[in-house]
Structure 1
């Protein structure tokens, strides 16, 4: 790092600095007389950048990289690049309690350093500088809001991704645990029915033993596609765990839900795991238990009754539907 000179002696034109656009130079230059210009080598930071006195850094040549102070080590880096004519550090001037951002030269860079007291004097004495500061802060606010919106979208994308079963493409157990109570609350509030179908692929362990686990995975995928093909857009399907699947039918009473389950049972009965005639064509069947929400019933109660109906279907010979 090299202390070149004060700004007044540095030879840089002040009208190329955004902060000074439209401001009378005769009012600005005397205030900048003692403000130093530093030459930073690539990777160097101004020595004052670590304290909390508050300083504005104006890039005259080169580029500064800025990372917010709240970013922890190992977190997001390269928050922004400050190019010639632009500045950074205004928040440390406005809020003395705010920790300074991390500032480092991305290449050999000349930086004008304006202490907080000098900047405030310019704001007080020059309306043009005050106006430019407001524009700068408005830009920073819009940029921060845009970044927050991007992070929210990315966060929502990964949240939704975490709710999908990687094998079948159906919703997973986490989604069911999150969504089912909300659907039940809506059903109680609207006085509309809500039905749940518990599905268990029959003798799936034996299927895996006979055909291999990869074929078992293919059978789960085929079953998921078969189930999805029967449902309405307003219905939901999820992988409960292992070879157990669930279907949620909003606005559907017991008898209509039983009819849907019977169609699902028939669809699975006809579904082949492989369509390639050169390979064995194993198929799967399923047992299903249907339960419709009762007054005051919660998610655990509904699942428990559907599960009991499922086991009754198994006890009665499998490949069939039982109603709770």
Structure 2
């Protein structure tokens, strides 16, 4: 920063300053007249790591980056235009300004030391009101940014728990939620069942029709699950061509009925309307396990996997308990 004069000797007027445009007290005019005006070249930082100062942009513009690291760019850079100020919070709590401030173009700034700001707050009627309005706006803007970050965090969390291809929940979701669902079922004395599904001969399907067709087949199977389940049920891509359905409040008899419905609908689902090669449809093998005393989420999964193995051994496109 380069000092180029004082405010009183500059071409600028107090009417150019948003915080002081309603102040006409002679004491305010006299106090500001002796304040420094500095020039900051484009791209240079406003450096004052150990000082609490108020900066008012007279010409040009400043970029203020949040002092809170978020790990991603989420629009936390604020532009300060002519007449606007930065550093109010640092002045009010008399602490260094931790935000990164830099000039986005050649700029001229009015610099007001924190002692003078406090003196003017005591002596002026208009300045405290202007500061309150400005700080109220800043609080609203900060709250809006926090809400945006929260929504963004929820969005990325949802992405991390969903399989990007099928849109079903993924293993991360299962690892986090199945134990909670099992614990709740045990606590409430309510049934819970799993249906593990493996698409039959899927490697052959991929080899015959290509991996893009295989991806479409997986999405078709996922759509079958979504359309056939209740809103309270959960469908998971367990891995590769394996999928898992979690059925809260569901005993073995109803789980068998659900599996039979899924088996029929999967058999009837057409991957491509114009498919003329072998394996025009997809089928699945189904293994069912129902929560019983002494089972936790891991042993319940093992029971469903064992039932699935029996369904494969029985010739596939079938269901085993």
Q: Same fold (TM over 0.5)?
A: yes
What is the aligned counterpart of 2:302 among 297, 301, 304?
Answer: 304
- Structure 1 residues 308 and 64 mapped into 2: Cα distance closer, same or farther (>3 Å)? same
Cα drift, residue 160 of structure 1:
1.1
Cα drift, residue 242 of structure 1:
0.8
* Secondary structure at 1:18 match in 2: coil
Q: Deviations over 1:31-81 (max 9, x none)?
A: 2232111233322334xx232211100012221111123449996677111
Alignment of 1:208-223 (within 5 A): 208-223=206-221
Tell me how far apart the structure 2 counterparts of residues 138 and 312 of structure 1 sit (CA, whole Å): 67
Structure 1 runs not aligned, ≥5 long: none
> Contact 2:56/2:109 (CA < 8 Å) preserved in 1?
yes
* Secondary structure at 1:8 match in 2: coil
User: Is it true that 1:203 corresponds to 2:233 in the alignment?
Assistant: no
Tell me how far apart the structure 1 counterparts of residues 271 and 216 of structure 2 sit (CA, whole Å): 6
What is the aligned counterpart of 2:50 among 37, 49, 52?
Answer: 52
Q: Deviations over 1:70-114 (max 9, x none)?
A: 449996677111112210012222334444322222223221000
> Contact 1:82/1:88 (CA < 8 Å) preserved in 2?
yes
> Contact 2:87/2:97 (CA < 8 Å) preserved in 1?
no
**What root-mean-square deviation, in Å, do the aligned CA atoms of Structure 1 and Structure 2 show?**
2.4
Q: Deviations over 1:189-237 (max 9, x none)?
A: 4333221111112232333334433333232222222222221222221
Tell me how far apart the structure 2 counterparts of residues 227 and 176 of structure 1 sit (CA, whole Å): 16
Cα drift, residue 255 of structure 1:
0.4
Cα drift, residue 273 of structure 1:
2.4
Tell me how far apart the structure 1 counterparts of residues 14 and 226 of structure 2 sit (CA, whole Å): 67
Tell me how far apart the structure 1 counterparts of residues 285 and 71 of structure 2 sit (CA, whole Å): 53
Cα drift, residue 320 of structure 1:
1.4
1:20 paired residue number: 20
> Contact 2:54/2:85 (CA < 8 Å) preserved in 1?
yes
* Secondary structure at 2:9 match in 1: helix
* Secondary structure at 1:29 match in 2: helix
Cα drift, residue 280 of structure 1:
5.0
Structure 2 runs not aligned, ≥5 long: none
Tell me how far apart the structure 1 counterparts of residues 250 and 74 of structure 2 sit (CA, whole Å): 48
Greater Cα offset, 297-306 or 68-77: 68-77
1:138 paired residue number: 136
> Contact 2:224/2:265 (CA < 8 Å) preserved in 1?
yes
What is the aligned counterpart of 1:148 among 146, 149, 153?
Answer: 146
2:245 paired residue number: 247
* Secondary structure at 2:235 match in 1: strand
With normalisation by structure 2, the TM-score equals 0.90
> Contact 2:259/2:286 (CA < 8 Å) preserved in 1?
yes
1:95 paired residue number: 93
* Secondary structure at 2:226 match in 1: helix
* Secondary structure at 1:248 match in 2: strand
Tell me how far apart the structure 2 counterparts of residues 230 and 298 of structure 1 sit (CA, whole Å): 27
With normalisation by structure 1, the TM-score equals 0.89
- Structure 1 residues 98 and 51 mapped into 2: Cα distance closer, same or farther (>3 Å)? closer
Tell me how far apart the structure 2 counterparts of residues 29 and 162 of structure 1 sit (CA, whole Å): 57
Tell me how far apart the structure 2 counterparts of residues 73 and 314 of structure 1 sit (CA, whole Å): 47
Tell me how far apart the structure 2 counterparts of residues 313 and 77 of structure 1 sit (CA, whole Å): 53
1:180 paired residue number: 178
Tell me how far apart the structure 1 counterparts of residues 135 and 214 of structure 2 sit (CA, whole Å): 59
2:267 paired residue number: 269
User: Is it true that 1:35 corresponds to 2:45 in the alignment?
Assistant: no
| Matched length | 321
